[in-house]
Structure 1
Amino acid sequence: MGQAVDPLFKSVPQAIQKDDRLYEYLALIDGVRLGHQREAGLAAERLSERLLRK
């Protein structure tokens, strides 16, 4: 079993079912918040790449 994370807002589970990109961004944010140093670094790098992409 993995780590359980409470959603930032009650509506998040419904919202991510409709928006794959939102799911990806929130998963990366959780990786930054909850990951160990290596995982948090990778998540931050990937999040930065996606946010800076035009």
Structure 2
Amino acid sequence: TVREGEPLLTLHTDDADRFARAQAALEGAVEVAPAGSPYAGKSIIIDRVSA
């Protein structure tokens, strides 16, 4: 659970030029819903491989 005002992530870099690209890659990566809302996200399992 994340509460209002708490950070969701922290970006670190040794090259300031990379920061904008990393920030752009994260755009839309997080959705915020009201507390108690059911999770309707996609499965984190994309595919299964078996022998």
TM-score scaled to structure 1, two decimals? Answer: 0.28
| Higher helix proportion (structure 1 or 2) | 1
